[in-house]
Structure 1
């Protein structure tokens, strides 16, 4: 996923947090904020040290999340910023389970339609 699709700056992360629109499932938390006049969605991914203790684990989880989002990219609306924060159970997921959990989370947040 290109860097233009990512939220990197702390101020941008904080703006999405401060919007206070979130949903969660057992593996991930999703914060979202509508943002008009954007060419494409932007996503921020956070995996804390308390969740995955080694950098290798954290980076693997982030790769799984990015790959899952890349696979469903055409279905995601353009005018939205969202954050995905991993929870402890996410460390036990493989790629297919990660994608399944993310799809569930995006449907809970009404970013994807139920028929998808």
Structure 2
């Protein structure tokens, strides 16, 4: 995922937190904020030490980024998202984490429905 798709600055994280529109399941918490002046969605990731050691946290972040990259065509472009991984996300497969990401994004009404 390109760096332009990431939220990195603490003040940007805080801005999305302050909007406080969140949806959660057992594995993820997703905060969302609509912004009309951007060309693509942006994502901020937070994985706490409760998830595991540094390599476990990096592993979970990579899986989340890959899942969102695969879901990019179905995502609205005028959105800032914060994804917080819960400890249950550790040691789960890529496929399972993607399914859970789809689940929480559908709960938040973020994903566009497919014509399948």
TM-score, L = length of structure 1: 0.95
After superposition, what is the alpha-carbon deviation per residue over 1:47-93, rounded to whole angstroms, capped at 9, x for unaligned? 001222x1100000000000001111111111000100001111131
2:10 corresponds to 1:10:
yes
Q: Count residues in correspondence.
A: 115
SS in 2 for 1:78: coil
Q: CA deviation at 1:37?
A: 1.7
Alpha-carbon RMSD across the aligned residues, in angstroms, is 1.2
C-alpha separation between the residues in 2 aligned to 1:113 and 1:44? 20
Q: Give the superposition deviation at 1:115.
A: 4.7
Distance across 2 between alignment mates of 1:4 and 1:102: 21
Alignment of 1:27-42 (within 5 A): 27-42=27-42
Long gaps (5+) in structure 1: none
Distance 2:47 2:20 in 1: 19
List runs of 5+ in structure 2 lacking aligned partners: none
Distance of 1:7 and 1:30 partners within structure 2: 14
Match of 2:55 in 1: 56
Tell me if the contact between 2:75 and 2:112 (Cα under 8 Å) persists in the aligned partners.
no
- Report what 2:83 is aligned to: 84
Provide the TM-score with structure 2 as the length reference: 0.95
Q: Deviations over 1:14-60 (max 9, x none)?
A: 000000100000000000000112110000011001222x1100000
**For residue 70 of structure 1, what is the aligned residue in structure 2?**
69
Counterparts of 2:10 and 2:35, CA distance in 1 = 17
What is the alpha-carbon distance in structure 1 between the residues aligned to residue 69 and residue 59 of structure 2?
15
